[in-house]
Amino acid sequence: MSLDAIELAKSGRLERRSVVRALLAERGDMLAIGGLGAPAWDITAAGDGPLNLPLWGGMGGAAMMGLGLALAQPSRRVLVITGDGEMLMGIGSLATIATKQPRNLSVVVLDNEHYGETGMQETATHHGVDLAGMARAAGITDSRRVDRPDEVLALRDAIRGGAGPLFAQVKIDDASLPLVLPPREAAILQARMREAILGPAAHLQ
Amino acid sequence: MQRDTLESAPDAAADWPDQIYGLLKQHGIRQVALVPDAGHARLIRRCLADNDMQVVTLTTEEEGIAMLFGAWLGGEKGVLLMQSSGVGNCINMLSVPIAHRTPCPMIVTMRGEFGEFNPFQVPMGNATGAVLEAMGTLVKRADTPEDVAPTVDATLRLAFNTFRPTATLIGQRVIGAKTFGK
């Protein structure tokens, strides 16, 4: 993965889909949960498949889904990629995750400082709320803010390193990109991931 | 005033919390998500003492709905323990196990009904069953100590065999028998 693969928008901020592509490239058996809204479209744009769980709802729940999955599968990397609005709705889950210290869980917030699916209303991060600071204060020691392409590559390495829990607030450009939609039947989304993890026995549990 | 006037807790001789713990083991429950309630205190102690269970204390009950979904994705069974007021915090998140068709068993200790002292417990306590059923949850009640274990067993079986949210509501008559009439 070269630095050139990570794009900057005209605003000087990171281009979200190039960030997500970088985080998921050559992922091995890493599991990814995409939070409601644009992050779900972003992980889909990077390549849909059974190791992806894009969310069509459950706003505020993505990080906790990651915790349940990380506890159930301690030998696998679990990456939650979500938005600032979604994370803010479940902000208490940073405290919950910190109490368990799951080494295999990373939570990456793509922070465009807006509610992108509903008309670009400002979120709290637009007014300076420091999500990485909140995560660090909760007890997620490796909590970082990411603004530059080289920091994205460092984040990518840290996610693969497995010395989590890890939290990242990635400041991204706020452009709304073309929709790239995953399957909408959520029973399929869970069943395909379970089968990828557990094999055919998933359906006999 | 004694604290047990405010918080209903089971009689020390009651063995239904231990029976619930036995059922959690029998069903292979590995993740226990909870917001504490005095009615669940003994069960929580049993779970905390069990090295094969991950006990996760939540900041709000809806986190537990999300966590149980993640657990199931990874092949583990979980249960959510809470009091009736906490059910109100779960409403929209119940769309997750419904849409994904995944198990989500809940064991709810009731407040706001028999002998309640705190007015704030009554609105959600009165609405707990209706709210859960409005959100597609199969709800069963246990109003005697003898009913608790078979009802919890049914709730666990219905969740894991038929892939949906299910709940046992443990009535305040069961939990707070010593505090009636105060």
Check which CATH number belongs to the domain holding B129 and give it.
Answer: 3.40.50.970
ipTM over the 0.85 cut-off = yes
pLDDT in the model for residue A154: 97
Total count of domains within chain B: 1
**A-B contacts (CB, under 8 Å):** 122
Q: Tell me if B68 is assigned to some domain.
A: yes
- Kindly state the average pLDDT of the residues A92-112: 98
pLDDT in the model for residue B4: 67
Sequential pLDDT tens for chain B (182 residues): 677 667 777 777 789 999 999 999 999 999 999 999 999 999 999 999 999 999 999 999 999 999 999 999 999 999 999 999 999 999 999 999 999 999 999 999 999 998 888 999 999 999 999 999 999 999 999 999 999 999 999 999 999 999 999 999 999 999 874 444 44
Superfamily of A10-28+42-204 according to CATH: Thiamin diphosphate (ThDP)-binding fold, Pyr/PP domains (3.40.50.970)
pLDDT > 70: percent of chain A: 100
pLDDT in the model for residue B182: 45
The nearest CA of chain B is from the CA of A16 a distance in Å of 25
Q: Tell me if B78 is assigned to some domain.
A: yes
Task: Tell me the CA distances in angstroms from B21 to A92, A175, A186, B17, B147, one per residue in order.
Answer: 28, 51, 32, 6, 15
Interface list for chain B against chain A, based on CB atoms closer than 8 Å: 30-31, 54, 56-60, 62-76, 78, 92-93, 95-96, 99-102, 160
Note down the domain range covering B102.
Answer: 15-175
| Tokens 């994705």 belong to residue | B73
CB nearest B63 (choices: A64, A69, A72): A64
Q: Tell me if B66 is assigned to some domain.
A: yes
pLDDT band at A155 (very low <50, low <70, confident <90, very high): very high
pLDDT in the model for residue A122: 98
The full DSSP string for B120-176 is THHHHHHHHHHHHHHTT-EEEEE-SHHHHHHHHHHHHHHHHHHTSEEEEEE-HHHH-
Structure tokens at B96: 């997750």
pLDDT in the model for residue B14: 85
Q: What is the pLDDT of residues A28-47, one digit of tens each?
A: 999 999 999 999 999 999 99
The nearest CA of chain A is from the CA of B180 a distance in Å of 35
